[in-house]
Structure 1
Amino acid sequence: MLKGAGAAGLAGLAGCTGGGSDTLEVLHGWTGGDGKEAADALFEAFEDEHSDVDYDENPIGGGGNTTLDQTVSNRLQGGDTPSSFAGWPGANLEQYGDAVGDIESEVWDEADLKEAHVEEAVELCQNNGGFSAVPLGSHRLNDLFYNVGVLESAGVDPSSIDSADALINALDAVESETDATPFAFSLATWCILQTWAQTMLGEHGYEAYMNFIEGDGDEAAVRDTFEKLEQILGYINNDATSVDFTEVNRDIMSGDAAFIHQGNWAAGAYISGDQNIEYGTDWDAIRYPGTEDYYTLHIDSFIYPNDNPTPDDTATWLQFVGSETAQVAFNQYKGSIPTLSDVSTDEFNEYLTDTIDDFDNASEKPPTLAHGLAVDTNTQSDLEEVLNNNFADPYNVDGATSGFMDAV
């Protein structure tokens, strides 16, 4: 989509030694309850450490980075290049072509990031034979969060939920025994896609999931996943077509809903601000049924645009992003964990230290399907279009199954 945009024949960090005369401008999408406090902490830490750098933090709201991505696309194509922008690494980087540059020498080597970060993050930030991004933190996408009091009222033991059928039974118990919404949900296509992916992974395993994203999926497994997901989505809130995930996540906090599936950014809303709800007492989480031994990998990063207006200051910013100072400041509030392999956990709460342990001990770390790591943006867009046309209520299992098989 953006191949060649803003490149003007330049490669890598062309012009890096000259420095930029403009202000360092950084775009990101963390404006709501699941990210604003984390972003504030990140930029405050940068200002403390680099008070000599004149910067402009430019937050752009919108669920699933949709508005941010469109803004970045428009600006790169229009030649109005920002200094850096938040985005997903992995396959997501392919869309930019030569519009992103190589920061291997000036950032990764200069700050010794290759040895400092986990190998998954290092690999995902590579692009076009170099490095185009720096990881900020890792999200686990296979969490199923719940309100402890609602489940107790419904007589549901969360430790017994080890399959889609067991989850459906639990949702039915919540519906019959309480006034709470069993499954808090937003019918945004990316929310459907990420829940489909975890249901596929949980019901059919790592190999079947990886075969699917690599274009060799089992049609019977894809169909079964849609059939299970249709049953699960029979227990969602009536306003699911008109709300975003941050709104329904508040229902978990208030006790108006039992379960929500999101990445662990959902926990960022529970552990930040003045919510006054406690992990293990008021809210808790299990792995999405069937994925207990997995860590579904999602990574936040900052990306380096080519034809950069402030190359020296941008290199300073990206070196900072990869540092312990930045990763502790941001992730302790975001609900994510550092991608640094050796970092102090003193500032992290019990939920996040549990997540770090799970990352270290997971048998597999399958890449997220709905957030740019597993497939390129064109394929992801095709999958979301299939869901829009076939699986956003009413649910057409046949159409969705054939569409997904074709898309990959």
Structure 2
Amino acid sequence: MRGGWSKTFAVVGAVGLLAVSACGNSDDSGSGDSASKDVTVFTWWADGGEKAGLDGLVSVFGTECKDYKFVNSAVAGGAGANAKQVLANDLQAKNPPSTFQAHAGAELGDYINAGQVDDVSSLYTEFGLDKAFPKNLLDNLTVDGKIYSVPANVHRANVVWANPAVLKKANIDATKAPASVDAWIADMEKLKAAGVKTPLATSKGFAEEMVMEAVLLAELGPDKFTGLWNGKTDMAGADVTAALEKFKKILSFSNVDREAIDWPDALSYVNKGQAAYTLMGDWVAAQQLADKVPDTAYTYWPAPGTESSFQYLADSFTLPTNGKTPEGAKCWLKVVGSADGQKAFNTKKGSIPARSDAVATDYPKYQQAAMADWKSKTIVPSCAHGSACTLAQNNSIQSAMGQFSSGMDVATLQKALVTASKPS
């Protein structure tokens, strides 16, 4: 698999965190007040490749939306763990930003049901997005005939990143992914026997959940895995129990401080040779460039047993109900969905454009390969990143994951998953 996955990416520019600015205006009357032109954009893209991608969007926004001023309201934290809580407080206080980032899919259901985001279906027609985005993505975005966000990209979640030098200690071929979860466990046993203290590096919350999802996907297959979240597969089934037992075994090979660190820290353990593997989405590619990690220092492949599946997530932006500067927010959404905006964003973030009319040769080799896989592999959603689960469901699962990490009780974890997977 390695041979088909090149690690050539666009060079990420210097990364600097913009100052987070608060925007208290609600006037969009065009009165000439400079504050009325502020477009407050709420994201969790605060550093690394994510910040570089945001900077790319901001650059296009500055050209296409000259009447408005971008105001960065980023809150740091992997997968928005911190940002989502801040956003929830702001929305509850009736103080929404101009636009906010959310994962496309089921995660938006919480905001839709709470009446916190507006229908943007008309903008799809106005901006030509109904023709530019592929049907499978449009179907995923549609809720009761309406669309509530504009995706900036598509990411692949089921990717393992490995340190070839560490694998060499156990005579493991770094160019080939283990064929199955069982084969991966066997390789971790070899690493342990070779003196590698931590075969797998992972971190709290969504990262552990991603490892669990990858094991479930490998063991159940794409159809049954997707069925876990739409009610067609029994979460209490014996096959799920067997998969969770294998997840437990894999987690036993991981770092003892996993509940105290975030995903970049886990990645650093791999880069420093302190661990052999980490499982994380392909935003790692941009992070490696931002950290100036040499291509020869790492390799990657789909999580063992999931090569035929593309587990996706999509970062998208909304039009909040009664948000600040709505016309400026609509201009931001136009940029987010545009060919220029998606190119400026995705070449730096390591993701691929949501648009189906993107020219593959405009993108670095990794994205070209990912774009081809997006068209040819079986598409499955990610609960950890909102395409399969609501915020409430995912919060319940991550709470259960934290308890499992300390007690390693499969029965308790499975009961929690059964409860969390039920429609909210």
Q: State the TM-score, normalizing by the size of structure 1.
A: 0.89
Shift >4 Å, 4+ stretches = 15-20
Q: What's 1:392 paired with?
A: 405
Mapped pair 1:309 → 2:327:
no
Of the three residues 78, 82, 85, the one matched with 1:70 is 85
Q: Secondary structure at the match of 1:246?
A: helix
Q: Contact 1:200–1:221 at 8 Å: present in 2 too?
A: no
Mapped pair 1:80 → 2:98:
no
Mapped pair 1:149 → 2:165:
yes
Q: Contact 1:183–1:259 at 8 Å: present in 2 too?
A: yes
The aligned amino acid for 2:414 is: T
Mapped pair 1:102 → 2:119:
yes
Alignment partners' CA distance in 1, 2:205 and 2:314: 20
Q: What's 1:331 paired with?
A: 346
The aligned amino acid for 2:222 is: Y
Deviation at 1:206, TM superposition (A): 1.5
Q: Contact 2:104–2:141 at 8 Å: present in 1 too?
A: yes
The answer for unaligned runs of 5 or more in structure 2 is 1-26
Q: Secondary structure at the match of 1:235?
A: coil
Deviation at 1:342, TM superposition (A): 1.8
Mapped pair 1:21 → 2:39:
no
The aligned amino acid for 1:380 is: N
Higher mean Cα deviation, 153-162 or 351-360? 153-162
Q: Contact 1:183–1:235 at 8 Å: present in 2 too?
A: yes
Q: What's 1:10 paired with?
A: none
The aligned amino acid for 1:372 is: G
Q: Contact 1:108–1:114 at 8 Å: present in 2 too?
A: yes
In structure 2, do the counterparts of structure 1 residues 312 and 74 end up closer, same or farther at CA, with 3 Å as the change threshold? same
In structure 2, do the counterparts of structure 1 residues 108 and 319 end up closer, same or farther at CA, with 3 Å as the change threshold? same
In structure 2, do the counterparts of structure 1 residues 274 and 393 end up closer, same or farther at CA, with 3 Å as the change threshold? closer
User: Among the aligned pairs, what percent are the same residue?
Assistant: 27
The aligned amino acid for 2:389 is: V
In structure 2, do the counterparts of structure 1 residues 144 and 276 end up closer, same or farther at CA, with 3 Å as the change threshold? closer
- 1:236-255 superposed Cα distances (whole Å, 9 cap, x missing partner): 12321211111111222233
Q: Secondary structure at the match of 1:170?
A: helix
Q: Secondary structure at the match of 1:145?
A: strand
Mapped pair 1:283 → 2:301:
no
Deviation at 1:18, TM superposition (A): 7.8
Of the three residues 143, 149, 158, the one matched with 1:133 is 149
Mapped pair 1:170 → 2:180:
no
Equivalences, count:
387
Q: What's 2:420 paired with?
A: 407
Q: Contact 2:28–2:324 at 8 Å: present in 1 too?
A: no
In structure 2, do the counterparts of structure 1 residues 245 and 276 end up closer, same or farther at CA, with 3 Å as the change threshold? closer
Q: Contact 2:37–2:68 at 8 Å: present in 1 too?
A: no
In structure 2, do the counterparts of structure 1 residues 44 and 369 end up closer, same or farther at CA, with 3 Å as the change threshold? same
Higher mean Cα deviation, 153-162 or 55-64? 153-162
Alignment partners' CA distance in 1, 2:291 and 2:420: 43
Deviation at 1:181, TM superposition (A): 2.8
Q: Secondary structure at the match of 1:259?
A: strand
Q: What's 2:200 paired with?
A: 183
Alignment partners' CA distance in 1, 2:183 and 2:248: 15
The answer for unaligned runs of 5 or more in structure 1 is 1-14
In structure 2, do the counterparts of structure 1 residues 212 and 273 end up closer, same or farther at CA, with 3 Å as the change threshold? closer
In structure 2, do the counterparts of structure 1 residues 345 and 255 end up closer, same or farther at CA, with 3 Å as the change threshold? farther
Alignment partners' CA distance in 2, 1:178 and 1:282: 20
Q: What's 2:269 paired with?
A: 251
Q: What is the root-mean-square deviation in Å for CA atoms of aligned residues? A: 2.1
Deviation at 1:160, TM superposition (A): 5.2
The aligned amino acid for 2:417 is: F
In structure 2, do the counterparts of structure 1 residues 349 and 176 end up closer, same or farther at CA, with 3 Å as the change threshold? farther
Q: Contact 2:57–2:335 at 8 Å: present in 1 too?
A: no
Q: Secondary structure at the match of 1:295?
A: strand
Deviation at 1:392, TM superposition (A): 1.3
Deviation at 1:303, TM superposition (A): 1.2
In structure 2, do the counterparts of structure 1 residues 371 and 276 end up closer, same or farther at CA, with 3 Å as the change threshold? closer
The aligned amino acid for 1:157 is: D
Q: Contact 2:177–2:301 at 8 Å: present in 1 too?
A: no
Alignment partners' CA distance in 2, 1:361 and 1:178: 40
